[in-house]
Amino acid sequence: MKICIIGQGYIGLPTAALFTTKDCNVVGVDINEEVVNKLNKGEIHIEEPGLKEIIKKAVAENKYHASLTPEKADAYIITVPTPYISENYSCDLSYVKSACESILPYLEKGNTIIIESTIAPMSTDNEIKPIFENEGFTVGKDIYLAHCPERVLPGKIMYELVHNDRIVGGITPECSKKAIEVYGQFVEGELMETEAKTAEMSKCMENTFRDVNIALANELAKIGAEIGVNALEVIKLANKHPRVNIHTPGPGVGGHCLAIDPYFIYAKAPETAKIIKLSRDTNNSMPDFVVENIKKIIPEGKIAIFGLSYKGNTDDDRESPSYEIIAKLENLGYEITTYDPHINPDSNLNEAIKDSELIVILSDHDEFKELDYDLIKEEMENPIILDTKSIIQDVPKGITLYNYGNLYELQG
């Protein structure tokens, strides 16, 4: 089977790689010429364990190549971004529609088209299906259209694409069956058949559920700082209850899913989805909360930011709150240095902390869990660490540690 995948990012490229392991011929389409050239050399542009080896092998065996334009194929998979429109929080389908339009010259009867990009409920029926119908195709008879959202964790994508259960939402039952035939080549998890609109809502609600629960943890952190309670200790003890699982608070919510997808539901029913919107507002407020506490720790000076990616041990910095925090600090006149070995492998710890007055941890990379405290004390006169990810358990004498358990000490 030949597969054409539009979009060679964090989902499209790993998906392409896995199809090549099942003897599929795969063309990966991307609008970035630099990315295309790199991929055709067997090199990857994202950090994901296990991906580089498969792509290098697939290119060498002529099972994979990248292109700026689509080609004729048996199945087309769309994995392009879907941002939200800031004016009304609705799903911006422009990239998805453009991708669908790009394959029209190559489309033939019997082809399967799968939308993996996360989209608002009813998008496949109302917005995407007409693109193909206007070309004379009957969906469910001539071609087969389905929405099959991914549900993977950066850093474990190669494993989870294979082993996680997968929602397959067809426009018709036959569309679902055709999409299952495509994914069944490498997916070992359950392929769950449903309608496209149900698949769309399910994916949005999966991420909304997580966003709402993170918002509860972040709100608890704020309350603890305000009234003088150790929020981290509260979470630890409350989670001893067999049916309680309070999440860990952080500096804000990033990524292309949790920070965006809840808006797609809210935009459909703004008068009803009040909890969803309030949760988004709470999580969006966390960069301000971090900055306000930094101002209490040091009113001016040099700050070393540890971590730019939104997710630990990856280079994925999409929608990362780190950049908003940095921008706000720079606007206040702070001197900022950054250290993130995943985003910038050449970044230097010594240079980042030299003469800094404060280290702010914004990503939960493993490299930050066991820091060189002797070096920190050597390079910083009165070392202070603000750990917004709650990954440092203890620090040696001579270093001050703040986290969401003791921010109340800064009040007043």
List the one residue out of 91, 167, 168 whose CA is nearest residue 128: 91
Element (H, E) at 147: strand 144-147
CA of residue 388 relative to chain centroid, distance: 19
Q: Is the dihedral of CA 22, 165, 150, 242 positive or negative?
A: negative
Residues 267, 236: contact at Cβ < 8 Å? no
Does residue 325 contact residue 305 with C-beta atoms inside 8 Å?
yes
- Containing 401, the helix (H) or strand (E) segment is strand 400-402
CA–CA separation, 140 and 318 (whole Å): 35
Q: 């309680």: which residue's tokens?
A: 244
The residue ranges of DSSP E strands in 260-329, in sequence order, are 302-306
For this structure, is 148 an active site residue? no
Q: Which long-range contacts link 133-137 to residues 24+ away (Cβ below 8 Å)?
A: 135/104, 135/107, 137/107, 137/109
Task: Choose the catalytic residue: 129, 178, 197, 203.
Answer: 203
Q: Are 100 and 106 in contact (CB under 8 A)?
A: no
Which is nearest to 154 in space by CA: 301, 277, 297, 319? 319
Active site residue 72: no
Return the ∠ at Cα 198 (arms to 194 and 202), rounded to 5°: 110
Which one from 24, 100, 204, 257 is the annotated catalytic residue?
257
**With contact defined as beta carbons under 8 Å apart, do 147 and 124 qualify?**
yes
What three-state secondary structure class fits 304? Answer: strand
In whole angstroms, what is the distance from residue 79 CA to residue 29 CA?
A: 10
Residues marked as catalytic: 203, 257
